[in-house]
């Protein structure tokens, strides 16, 4: 189970890297393009000769605020995926056999997918209803932390293997 936790942590870390540093620019551009689709043409001020001024595109403050929250949710989701991927890697490296590995792996794995994935995917697809999964994922993440604690306690009595150097 420790190896599965280690591999799952590495895979989630790779996903967080793709979703964060590698894709954040294109995701932000997509969000901006979708925001500009909501822009409304607004006539500019009249010129001194009485002709209408140049028309500009205006985005409402409500749409701007919603876009800012959406971007924040995306970043928070990707950040939490990267944090909990490290927790899974740590759990896997701990390597203690027992229920702590199982509980921690399920808790961190499922909790990360529901919490971080719910936030990031809900923001990416502009479907806030997916974000409803985030509180459920947060509760499951508590089980992951409990599993990590249990794995650490179970491994406390183990003695490290002596390192032998071949001659």
pLDDT digits (tens, 9 = 90+) for 48-62: 888 888 888 899 999
| Residue 68 located in a structural domain | yes
pLDDT digits (tens, 9 = 90+) for 76-110: 999 999 999 999 999 999 888 888 889 999 999 99
Question: What does the mean pLDDT of the chain come to?
Answer: 89
Cα separation of 41 and 70, whole Å? 24
Work out the average pLDDT over 12-31.
Answer: 92
Are the C-beta atoms of residues 148 and 140 closer than 8 Å to each other? no
Look at residue 166 and tell me if it is in a domain.
Answer: no
Q: Is residue 46 part of a domain?
A: yes
The predicted model gives 39-47 an average pLDDT of: 86
Q: How far is residue 8's CA from residue 19's CA, in Å, rounded to a whole number?
A: 16
**Domain that residue 97 falls in:** 2-154
Our count of domains for the chain comes to: 1
- pLDDT tens readout for residues 122-148: 999 999 888 888 999 999 999 999 999
Does residue 159 sit within a domain?
A: no
Confirm whether 163 is domain-assigned. Answer: no
Query: Is pLDDT of 162 > 90?
Result: no
Q: Is residue 161 part of a domain?
A: no
Q: What is the pLDDT of residue 167?
A: 67
| pLDDT at residue 126 in the model | 92
Q: What average pLDDT score do residues 9-35 get?
A: 92
């Amino acid at each position: 189970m420790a190896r599965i936790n280690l591999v799952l942590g590495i895979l989630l870390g790779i996903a967080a890297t793709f979703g964060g540093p590698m894709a954040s620019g294109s995701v932000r551009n997509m969000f901006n393009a979708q925001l500009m689709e909501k822009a409304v043409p607004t006539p500019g001020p009249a010129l001194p000769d009485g002709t209408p001024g140049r028309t500009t595109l205006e985005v409402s403050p409500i749409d701007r605020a919603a876009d800012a929250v959406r971007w924040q949710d995306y970043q928070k989701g990707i950040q939490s995926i990267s944090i909990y991927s490290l927790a899974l890697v740590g759990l896997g490296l701990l390597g203690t056999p027992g229920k702590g590995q199982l509980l921690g792996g399920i808790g961190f794995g499922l909790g990360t997918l529901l919490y971080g994935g719910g936030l990031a995917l809900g923001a990416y697809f502009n479907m806030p209803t997916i974000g409803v999964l985030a509180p459920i994922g947060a509760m499951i993440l508590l089980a992951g932390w409990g599993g990590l604690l249990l794995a650490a306690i179970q491994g406390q009595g183990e003695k490290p293997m002596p390192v032998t150097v071949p001659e």
